[in-house]
A = this chain, B = another copy of it.
């Protein structure tokens, strides 16, 4: 599996000092524990349906401490999004064992581990919908992230020899978002459909001469 798409947020997950000898030990890593709990709860319940009380309970952090780290919930949500996947989709784009064309296709592969649910919805889309305010810092992060992903796809498309790499990048980005949204609504995996479309678009955009290389 390549992307680990939105599953545990970002590389590393929980730092090891989060639980001590007896399982409880709420000591020093408060901030990371809060963000870790955010990832879990915002994914499972949504942002608006997750109260600060519950969040602090799961993070095993006192409310006081939470509000010393984050001025308010909005700031926490913003940081939650900002800290997501710091090397944007690095696991896909940095795979030097794949040709550029293969990397573009790999972005659509679903983790597909044994006992797991369908792909969770992209947290950036979810946040944009839940917060419902384009000026919210988290909404800005979401926009930035989406544009960055499109840019990286475009960059890879250029490497792959696409005729209009920017256009192909934006198209593939739209496919990813469509798969994410549709997976949520249908409650059924839609990434394979998106992958099929991507294959068509890629073959259509890369001239035969360039295709022979990869």
Which positions in A face B, CB cutoff 8 Å?
A: 45-46, 48-49, 121, 124-126, 128-130, 132, 134, 139, 142-143, 146-147, 167, 170-171, 173-182, 184-187, 190, 193-194, 196-197, 200-201, 204
Q: When the two chains form the complex, which single residue of B132, B186, B201 contacts A143, counting CB atoms closer than 8 Å?
A: B186
Q: Determine if B193 and A174 form an interchain contact, defined as CB atoms under 8 angstroms apart.
A: yes
A49-B132, A126-B129, A134-B187 given; A182·B173 CB < 8 A = yes
CB distance from A206 to the nearest CB of B (A): 13
Q: When the two chains form the complex, which single residue of B121, B125, B129, B186 contacts A147, counting CB atoms closer than 8 Å?
A: B186
A185 CA / B139 CA spacing, docked (Å): 7
A sample of 30 cross-chain residue pairs with beta-carbon separation below 8 angstroms, ordered by A number, consists of: A46-B129, A46-B130, A46-B132, A125-B129, A125-B185, A128-B185, A129-B130, A134-B187, A139-B185, A142-B185, A143-B185, A143-B187, A146-B182, A146-B185, A146-B186, A167-B196, A170-B193, A171-B193, A174-B175, A174-B182, A174-B190, A174-B194, A174-B197, A175-B175, A175-B197, A176-B178, A178-B178, A178-B194, A180-B181, A181-B181
Residues of B within 8 A of A142 (CB): 185
Residues of B within 8 A of A179 (CB): 174, 178
CB distance from A117 to the nearest CB of B (A): 11
Most chain B C-beta atoms within 10 Å of own C-beta, residue among A48, A147, A177: A177
CB distance from A49 to the nearest CB of B (A): 6
* Chain multiplicity (copies): 2
CB distance from A139 to the nearest CB of B (A): 8
Q: Determine if B48 and A185 form an interchain contact, defined as CB atoms under 8 angstroms apart.
A: no
A139 CA / B177 CA spacing, docked (Å): 19
Q: Which residue on B lies nearest to A124, using beta carbons?
A: B185
A197-B197, A200-B201, A200-B204 given; A128·B184 CB < 8 A = yes
Residues of B within 8 A of A128 (CB): 184-185
Residues of B within 8 A of A130 (CB): 46, 48, 129-130
A204 CA / B143 CA spacing, docked (Å): 32
